[in-house]
């Protein structure tokens, strides 16, 4: 039976949800260090971040550092997609259990950098997410493709091409142990697998 995106997503969820709390704490710390190193020289940029679910990489430390030098935005769920709103406190839990900033009347369609959580990644470094397509719909509305960083607590990768053309791809994949840079027709991997 060929590997489908649905089967791969289910396998990745099982793998990610088995990570212990102690290991998750350590992995989040390593991911935050990698994000901060990747973005250390940026200033005055517009950055889309996310507020994590329990099993996603918690990037709160990186958000705090980025807020000092960049304009930070977070998703605000709206129908089958989301809109970007400025990151501002207090955050409120929505119907999916995700903390989000309050609604904004502004429609923002320009960002420089996007930090995106993933469930898995295929051979083209394209995102396998939760299966709702929210990020794909959102990215399709943007005027210019941002520098995209995928973040994952445990590498869940297949060499097979299982994503659709509209699934977003990354410029960089960050996990606790490896960093993968997308170079168009190939990629460069640094670190060891864990």
**What local confidence, expressed as pLDDT, does residue 34 receive?**
95
pTM over 0.85: yes
Q: Which residue has the higher pLDDT, 6 or 109?
A: 6
Residues 71 and 110: their CA atoms lie apart, in Å, by 11
**pLDDT above 70: residue 191:** no
Residues 50 and 22: their CA atoms lie apart, in Å, by 22
What would the two tokens of residue 89 be? Answer: 């406190």
Residues 110 and 136: their CA atoms lie apart, in Å, by 15
User: Where in the sequence is the domain holding 38, given as residue range(s)?
Assistant: 5-191
Residues 31 and 175: their CA atoms lie apart, in Å, by 6
Per-residue pLDDT of 10-26, as tens digits, reads 999 999 999 998 899 99
**What local confidence, expressed as pLDDT, does residue 2 receive?**
81
- pLDDT tier, 44 (very low <50, low <70, confident <90, very high otherwise): confident
The values of phi and psi at residue 127, to 5°, are -75, 135
Which SS3 state, helix, strand or coil, does residue 190 take?
strand
Query: Is 134:75 a contact under the CB 8 Å cutoff?
Result: yes
Q: Which of 19, 10, 25 is nearest to 120 (CA)?
A: 10
**pLDDT above 70: residue 104:** no
**pLDDT above 80: residue 119:** yes
Per-residue pLDDT of 130-170, as tens digits, reads 888 888 888 888 889 999 999 999 999 999 999 988 999 99
Over its C-alpha atoms, the chain yields an Rg (Å, rounded) of: 16
- pLDDT tier, 28 (very low <50, low <70, confident <90, very high otherwise): very high
**What local confidence, expressed as pLDDT, does residue 54 receive?**
83
- pLDDT tier, 112 (very low <50, low <70, confident <90, very high otherwise): very high
Structural domains counted in the chain: 1
**pLDDT above 80: residue 6:** yes
**What local confidence, expressed as pLDDT, does residue 126 receive?**
93
Per-residue pLDDT of 45-102, as tens digits, reads 999 999 888 889 999 999 999 999 999 998 877 766 677 788 776 777 776 666 666 6
CATH number at residue 124: 3.40.50.10420
Residues 130 and 161: their CA atoms lie apart, in Å, by 17
**What local confidence, expressed as pLDDT, does residue 122 receive?**
92
């Amino acid at each position: 039976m060929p590997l489908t995106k649905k089967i791969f997503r289910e396998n990745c969820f099982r793998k990610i949800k088995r990570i212990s709390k102690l290991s998750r704490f350590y992995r989040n710390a390593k991911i935050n260090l990698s994000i901060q190193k990747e973005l250390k020289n940026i200033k005055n940029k517009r950055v889309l971040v996310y507020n994590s679910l329990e099993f996603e990489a918690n990037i709160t430390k990186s958000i705090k550092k980025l807020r000092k030098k960049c304009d930070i935005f977070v998703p605000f769920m709206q129908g089958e997609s989301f809109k970007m709103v400025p990151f501002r406190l207090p955050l409120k839990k929505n119907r999916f259990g995700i903390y989000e900033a309050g609604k904004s009347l502004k429609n923002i369609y320009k960002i420089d950098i996007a930090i995106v959580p993933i469930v898995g990644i295929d051979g083209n470094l394209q995102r396998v997410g939760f299966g709702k397509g929210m990020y794909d719909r959102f990215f399709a509305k943007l005027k210019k493709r941002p520098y995209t960083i995928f973040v994952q607590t445990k590498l869940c990768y297949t060499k097979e091409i299982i994503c659709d053309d509209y699934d977003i791809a990354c410029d960089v994949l960050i996990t606790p142990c490896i960093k993968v840079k997308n170079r168009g027709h190939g990629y460069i991997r640094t670190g060891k697998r864990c």
